[in-house]
Amino acid sequence: MSGGVDSSVGAALLQRAGFEVVGCFMRLGSPGEDLEGLRPADECDSSRIRIGKQGCCSVGDAADARLVAAQLGIPFYVCNFKKDFDRIIDYFVDEYASGRTPNPCVRCNDWLKFGKLHEYARQIGAEYVASGHYARIDRTDPERPELLRGLDQSKDQSYVLFGATRDRLKEMILPIGHLPKAEVRRLAEAFGLPVFDKPDSQEICFVPDNDYAGLVERRRPELAMSGEIRDADGNTVGTHEGHHRFTLGQRRGVGVAFGYPIYVVDRDPESNTITVGDEGRLMTESCRAGDTNWLVEPFSGWTEALVQHRYNSPAEPARVRGVLGDGEKPNIEVRFHAAQRAVTPGQALVVYDRHNDARVLAGGWIEHTAGNRAAGV
């Protein structure tokens, strides 16, 4: 229970369906957190809790989760994952330092929400771990569960759950995946839950001020170093204060002007250089993803599919195949039917069924891309 409307309604629905529900809040050590001394849920008074800026898993969220648990009359536990969460922050910083763009929310799902939390569930004898994600699990074949998009396409979160293995899916319940967001809020109000009108969190919980560069520099001060901004021909056209301050496709705040729109088209951590160019240089025809999770048997031959390469972009038609890589499972090789803009190393890539665009086939992390001037992957 994160303290938001989605997980709160999920808990209420499961309770009404006859499940014995236990509420768990993940204590992650986010900025401004002060959970010491909080009393049991049935005695919780939110007016006594120091509330910091709202965000995923903040102290304010903890207070809301306790109040909802008290109203539902279910046990409530705070799971101390602060040490484990440092792994997420280290990953975030290391990815930026290495010239990639991380997705910490997906990693948090893989490592904590549907990783560490499952270990805790076993300790207390729970059979399932439920969450308020907008996605669905098809258990038509109990031994081969399938991950599906949520019915509310505008809120679908199957993209951030691609890392759940089949064995993990057997232990997961997603009780609101069949509902639109408006209906979830209506149910929250009907159930009398105090979070029915609480805004959704839009922030990365450990970067509540959105100053990603500041966080990276506090952990890796050596990265705050001036470097060159170059054009596509290698000419120096300006300077910057650290390559980690830029992302692929960035247009604003680049610091140079050419008289026409320019974008960050590359960043090189080894030379600490940023390359800028026109939008055409952002276009990608193919890419490869590693650290994969296949929910179907990997296909070695080219197969038509739909591929989503960032959270807020639609899945695009592409040919996909599995190829041998360094990991235990085959890498995913993708050739898009139409060149895609700013396919970014470090981001998640998810493959959906061409015939049933709600069905997740596989996913991984983008490692390499090739543009429309390149010969291939």
pLDDT above 80 (res 44): no
pLDDT of residue 202: 67
Range of weakest confidence among 13-17, 45-49, 85-89: 45-49
CA distance 150 to 114: 18
For the chain, domains (ranges, CATH) are: 5-190 (3.40.50.620), 222-277 (2.30.30.280), 283-371 (2.40.30.10)
CA distance 74 to 370: 52
Mean pLDDT estimate for the chain: 89
Question: What is the widest separation between alpha-carbon atoms in the chain?
Answer: 67
List, for residues 252-270, the tens digit of each pLDDT value.
989 898 989 999 999 999 9
List, for residues 306-355, the tens digit of each pLDDT value.
999 999 899 999 999 999 877 789 999 999 999 999 999 999 999 999 99
- The backbone torsions φ and ψ at residue 376, rounded to the nearest 5 degrees and listed phi first, read 160, -170
Residue 371 · residue 281 · CB < 8 Å? yes
pLDDT above 70 (res 57): no
pLDDT of residue 157: 96
- pTM tops 0.75: yes
pLDDT above 50 (res 42): no
pLDDT of residue 49: 29
Task: Write the burial class of residue 285 (CB in 10 Å: 0-12 exposed, 13-18 middle, 19+ buried).
Answer: buried
Q: Dihedral angle at the C-alpha atoms of 92, 96, 98, 100, nearest 10 degrees? A: 100
CA distance 275 to 256: 11
pLDDT of residue 368: 93
pLDDT of residue 56: 58
List, for residues 182-226, the tens digit of each pLDDT value.
999 999 999 999 999 998 876 677 887 788 899 999 999 999 999
List, for residues 167-190, the tens digit of each pLDDT value.
999 999 999 999 999 999 999 999
How would residue 374 be classed by pLDDT, with cut points 50, 70 and 90?
very low
DSSP 8-class letter at 281: G
Positions marked active-site: 108, 205
Q: How far is CA 145 from CA 55, 63, 70, 256, 291, in A?
A: 32, 35, 33, 51, 21
CA distance 215 to 268: 20
More confident call, 303 vs 43:
303
Task: Write the burial class of residue 267 (CB in 10 Å: 0-12 exposed, 13-18 middle, 19+ buried).
Answer: buried
CA distance 303 to 322: 10
pLDDT of residue 27: 86
CA distance 153 to 135: 9
Produce one character per residue of 39-52: b if its CB has 16 or more CB atoms within 10 Å, e if not: eebeebeeeebebb
Q: Dihedral angle at the C-alpha atoms of 240, 242, 248, 252, nearest 10 degrees? A: -40
DSSP 8-class letter at 244: G
pLDDT of residue 48: 28
pLDDT above 60 (res 127): yes
Q: Residue with structure tokens 């709202």?
A: 54
